């Protein structure tokens, strides 16, 4: 049996809608791998609330796009995002991905003084995808 994931469910609509509640800050857009628009939502409060309301209807398509775009595997995207969101300054999300050294550095420097957290909001989906790809192909 082929171990590749032709139809993977990497992201959760439930988590997407929970993050949408805070979507005027771009949380759901970062989660679905849209860091540029997530940043725009952050600085414009969801395009003054209009983009935030429209996104309620766009979440199912953002979820499907993320499921096609990112690699499923051992590490769960939703777990990684919850850890980043609530424990990111302590590096727990990096430790979850097996990146113990950078996780400890985050722990000792409060997420490299917050700049590392911003980097991780932009790149966490790709980090999880790369880890899933490497664990599947070893």
pLDDT recorded at residue 3:
46
The DSSP code for 22 is T
Q: Is the pLDDT score of 8 beyond 50?
A: yes
Q: What is the pLDDT of residue 64?
A: 97
**pLDDT for 135:** 85
Q: Does residue 137 have a pLDDT over 90?
A: no
Residue 12 reports pLDDT greater than 80: yes
Per-residue pLDDT tens over the stretch 86-97? 999 999 999 999
Taking residue 96's Cβ as centre, other Cβ atoms within 10 Å add up to 19
At 4 the pLDDT is 46
State the Cα angle at 99 between 138 and 123, rounded to 5°: 95
User: What would the two tokens of residue 52 be?
Assistant: 């935030």
Residue 110: pLDDT over 90? yes
What pLDDT was estimated at residue 84? Answer: 95
Residue spans of the domains in the chain: they are 11-69, 71-138
In this prediction, residue 136 carries a pLDDT of: 83
Is residue 22 pLDDT above 90, yes or no?
A: no
């Amino acid at each position: 049996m082929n171990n590749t994931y032709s139809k993977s469910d990497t992201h959760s609509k439930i988590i997407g809608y929970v993050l949408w509640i805070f979507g005027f800050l771009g949380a759901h857009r970062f989660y679905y791998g849209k860091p540029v628009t997530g940043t725009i939502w952050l600085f414009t409060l969801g395009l003054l609330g209009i983009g935030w309301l429209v996104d309620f209807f766009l979440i199912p398509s953002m979820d499907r796009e993320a499921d096609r775009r990112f690699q499923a595997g051992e590490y769960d995207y939703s777990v990684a995002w919850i850890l980043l969101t609530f424990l990111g300054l302590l590096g727990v999300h990096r430790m979850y991905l097996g990146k113990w050294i950078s996780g400890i550095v985050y722990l000792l420097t409060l997420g490299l003084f917050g700049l590392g957290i911003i980097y991780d909001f932009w790149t966490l989906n790709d980090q999880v995808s790369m880890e899933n790809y490497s664990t599947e192909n070893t």
